[in-house]
Amino acid sequence: MKNLFKTGILLGLLSLASCQDELTQDPIGLTTLEQANTTPTLNTLEKSVSSSYQLLSNRLNILAQWDWGGGLVFQNDYIMQDIASDDMEKKWSSDGDQPWIDEINNFTFTSTNGGPNGLWKYDYEGIKRINAAIELLTKADIETVTGITAARKNQLLGEAYFLRSYYYFSLVTNFGDVPLILAPVKTYQEAFDVAVRANKGLVWDKIKSDLVLAKALLPNSKYSSPTEKWRVSKGAVIALQAKAALYTEKWTEVPALVDELAGLGFSLNANYFDNFSTSKEYTDNEVIFSYDHQSNTTPRKGNGICAPLGWGFFAPSTNFLNSFEPNDPRKLYTVDAANQNVNKMLGSLDGANKGNDDAPTNKVYMRYADALLWKAEALNETGNYSGAIAIINQIRARARTTVTALGTIPPVGTLPDRVASTDKATVKGWLISERRAELGFENQRMLDLKRWGIAKAVMTAHGKSFQDKHMLYPIPQSEIDASAGTLTQNPGY
């Protein structure tokens, strides 16, 4: 049954017994629904959730072997959000390699491009695994059958609801209306029935309701587990609640949620680069959710995105480098242009991990500085300009007091506080600039430009042919074909 279908959402969502769908290799640690239902064990439950994290990993070839054109060698966050923006170029020197990435960069991509294809498949594979995990964990007799404690079951279920929300957040922000699949798909007919796009409002509602469930199930502590700090925590849930509220313009909900994070022990690190340094992982104060990459493990868990860095991929644009204020330490902490090292992605300041396809560098998804800037944006939108400015200045103060990558202290006058203002547009401009400097190369820029409604203006000024249709990525053509046209395409593609 491995080649039941060759492509499409029918593949990504089917959980038919022992089918591995379109994958050209068996997913590591994945338990099929048939196996789980036949012999449910504590180990089965653990694996059903842990395997669902894998689609957040930067490990190479999770879904296929070297399918570059299909966008499946690694997850495509950096391509879809950073290279597509005015922050990043594909390579330090253009050489024609991987032209599908150039198409994303130049906005000449079509519905057959590997970028949207890979993003879609990663997210729906994650959802497929999570739905199987949730079905198992919510069985009435699962504690009796497996011996799992109520506390551990609740923790795993809370993680599962968060992960499903996270994957759907990625889908709805990139594609708009998408199929909303909330249970394992077990028959051919079900596969066709679910291959229909749900209104994005319904998707947002489900993201938020799943997060409410997750929040109630997870321990009220900074880490869900003192020995497995990589797991989804209540802080991660609260942060995604705040981000979902921000993206749906529920401004009044954002500040209180961000304030809850401080109550759990999250704060700004004294040094900016502690967020990214491999030596500080799970000992810092700021990272809320990250993927735990480790070297020299079997199966492999290393960060494969460091490998193409050694081949000259993921270069800063001149516009990005020029956007930093004088002496801002975050510029060199993000990218060392002179030595062609993307420090933030490498987790090092000396080129360590460059070219290493099994690097230990964690992938940071959410951190407290990002959340604080969400609060600042919400305060500005509701007329609390002084509160918004105070947060912006808090972020700037951390940056200017950070010991630089060269071991020096920034000179007096670096990143001065923003002055008082009651002009909403002025404060918004400061916020936009601060987010770019603070969060560069963290997969936020294009999503920010789109939700602010300035993507077309910014990218046009950057010399790119950004059209209205590019506010969303196209539904992969292979998915539409596999659904026999049940899936519809986004306008303009």
226 occurs within a structural domain: no
Are 442 and 364 in contact, with CB atoms under 8 Å apart? yes
Residue-number span of the structural domain to which 274 is assigned: 249-452
pLDDT at 10: 54
Are 21 and 8 in contact, with CB atoms under 8 Å apart? no
478 and 403 assigned to the same domain: no
pLDDT at 484: 87
CA dihedral 14→114→232→448, nearest 10 degrees, is -130
CA dihedral 228→152→224→47, nearest 10 degrees, is 40
Residue 256 identity: A
pLDDT at 443: 98
pLDDT at 4: 30
Q: What is the full per-residue pLDDT of the chain (493 aa) written as tens digits?
A: 233 333 345 545 443 333 333 334 444 344 455 555 567 899 999 999 999 999 999 999 999 999 999 999 999 999 999 999 999 999 999 898 999 999 999 999 999 999 999 999 999 999 999 999 999 999 999 999 999 999 999 999 999 999 999 999 999 999 999 999 999 988 888 888 899 999 999 999 999 999 999 999 999 999 999 999 999 999 999 999 999 999 999 999 999 999 999 999 999 999 999 999 999 999 999 999 999 999 999 999 999 999 999 999 999 999 999 999 999 999 999 999 999 999 999 999 999 999 999 999 999 999 999 999 999 999 999 999 999 999 999 999 999 999 999 999 999 999 999 999 999 999 999 999 999 999 999 999 999 999 999 999 999 999 999 999 999 999 999 999 988 889 999 999 9
Tokens encoding 487: 């899936």
pLDDT at 179: 97
303 and 417 assigned to the same domain: yes
CATH number of the domain encompassing residue 77: 1.25.40.390
200 and 333 assigned to the same domain: no
Burial of residue 272 (number of CB atoms within 10 Å: 0-12, 13-18, 19+): buried
CA–CA distance from 406 to each of 349, 402, 416 (Å)?
Answer: 9, 11, 21
Cα torsion 222, 228, 234, 237: sign: positive
107 and 91 assigned to the same domain: yes
Helix (H, G, I), strand (E, B) or coil at 204: helix
233 occurs within a structural domain: no
Closest to 173 measured CA to CA, from 196, 151, 200, 145: 200
Record the pTM: 0.94
354 and 492 assigned to the same domain: no
256 and 160 assigned to the same domain: no
CA–CA distance from 273 to each of 15, 34, 42 (Å)?
Answer: 42, 45, 39
354 and 327 assigned to the same domain: yes
12 and 90 assigned to the same domain: yes
